[in-house]
Amino acid sequence: MEKQNIDWGSLGFGYMPTSASYVSNYKNGAWDDGALTSDHTVTISECAGVLQYSQSVFEGLKAYETVQGKIVTFRPDLNAERMYNSAKRLEMPPFPKDRFVEAVKEVVKANDSWVPPYGSGATLYIRPYMFGSSAVIGVKPADEYQFRILTTPVGPYFKGGAKPITIKIADYDRAAPRGTGHIKAGLNYAMSLHAIVEAHKQGFAENLYPDSKTLTKVEETGGANIIFIKGNKFVTVKSPSILPSVTRRSLEYVAEHYLGMEVEEREIPLTELPEFDECGLCGTAAVISPVGCINDHGKEIKFPSGMEKMGPTIQKLYDTLTGIQMGRIEAPEGWICEIE
Ligand SMILES: *Cc1c(COP(=O)(O)O)cnc(C)c1O
């Protein structure tokens, strides 16, 4: 396979169409066989459920070329499971989990020339998504759905290394205690846009949402879970209204089994923030973004790791997890899914 003629090192985090996308349609109570397509557009009713009532869910994962030259994806079974749960919460017919993993493999294989070479820092981002495609005007679930997977090569999230960011305690709610915060639904992002645009105007990189009911406990940011280091402890949030991040769950395992840390998944009161040594945001896109400062309505909580570079423990977590993904460090059983 000959790679595409792309300057991989200068890629940003944007969309470009690749060779093929995967598409399957749900009609008359069943998913069709699904197929690859080179048509990167979607034609649906002007009254489609997704357009009127935002019935859509999505996932995000990556394909990498490892140091051994193999193309792999990272724990796609967890994305399959999460999308299954997301779909059920929005009354959409879940796409079968085994078919999800097969479809990811098929579409990555068809786009193997778009998987950035090892060492470039770039990756192939994989975006599975599903939406209500048939017309709905009275409020109810659509009868027909489309499941698609698009892929697009993306550059390293942080060019020239990850500088710690400053985030603010949000002035808006992201997820109600019994709402949809735990599923990956487009609607959670639509309502976060105003808050993020405002935060950016104020000079902050992200919003850290407190729990909507009491506004006293840490939840997560608009698109990433939050992790803290306190001595030899890896501390992260337990809440029914945060998204179960694959990266965060993998880091918990890495902290315990590779770095010998103690892992705590529990409620974190905002008042505890000044007690942590290091802080980071985690998700597929950036793996870990170090946080140097949290601004709580003018009061600055500065972590001892500072604003120049990642704290030492977060750096170790980052190096170990990316080492596993890139084939430099032996992976736990079942984490690496080889494409070819
Ligand atoms: C996708 C997402 C994350 C990160 O999940 P990963 O599986 O690690 O990519 C965290 N929080 C929210 C709200 C998300 O949508």
What is the C-alpha to C-alpha distance for residues 18 and 40, in angstroms, rounded to an integer?
Answer: 9
Asked whether residue 162 carries a pLDDT value surpassing 90, the answer given is: no
pLDDT tens digits for range 6-40? 999 899 989 999 999 999 999 999 999 999 999 99
Mean pLDDT of all residues in 266-279: 98
- What pLDDT was estimated at residue 340? 74
CB of residue 283 inside a 6 A radius of ligand 1: yes
Q: Is 166 exposed, middle or buried (0-12, 13-18, 19+ CB in 10 A)?
A: middle
pLDDT tens digit sequence for 57-81: 999 999 999 999 999 999 999 999 9
Determine the average pLDDT of the residues in 250-270.
Answer: 98
Report d(CA 303, CA 190) in Å as an integer: 31
Ligand 1 atom at shortest distance from the alpha carbon of 248: 8
Contacts 24+ apart (CB under 8 A), 4-9: 4/113, 4/114, 4/153, 6/116, 6/153, 8/116, 8/117, 8/120, 8/121, 8/122, 8/153, 8/155, 9/120, 9/121, 9/122, 9/155
pLDDT level of residue 160 (50, 70, 90 thresholds) = low
Which protein residue has the closest C-alpha to ligand 1 atom 3? 224
- Ligand 1 centroid to Cα of residue 309, in Å, is 23
DSSP 140: S
Residue 225 near ligand 1, beta carbon < 6 Å: yes
Identify the burial level of 220 via C-beta atoms within 10 angstroms of its C-beta, where 0-12 means exposed, 13-18 middle and 19 or more buried. buried
Q: What DSSP assignment string belongs to 269-314? A: BGGGGGG-SEEEEEETTTEEEEEEEEEETTEEEE-TTTTTS--HHH
pLDDT digit string (tens) for 145-155? 999 999 999 99
pLDDT at 157: 75
Please tell me the predicted confidence (pLDDT) of residue 212: 97
**For residue 1, what pLDDT is reported?**
78
184 catalytic per annotation: yes
Q: What is the pTM of this model?
A: 0.97
Catalytic residue selected from 62, 105, 184, 217: 184
Share of the chain above pLDDT 90, in %: 95
123-132 pLDDT, tens digit each: 999 999 999 9
pLDDT of residue 161 exceeding 80, the answer is no
Residue 243 alpha carbon to ligand 1 centre in Å: 6
Residues 292-327: tens digit of each pLDDT:
999 999 999 999 999 999 999 999 999 999 999 999
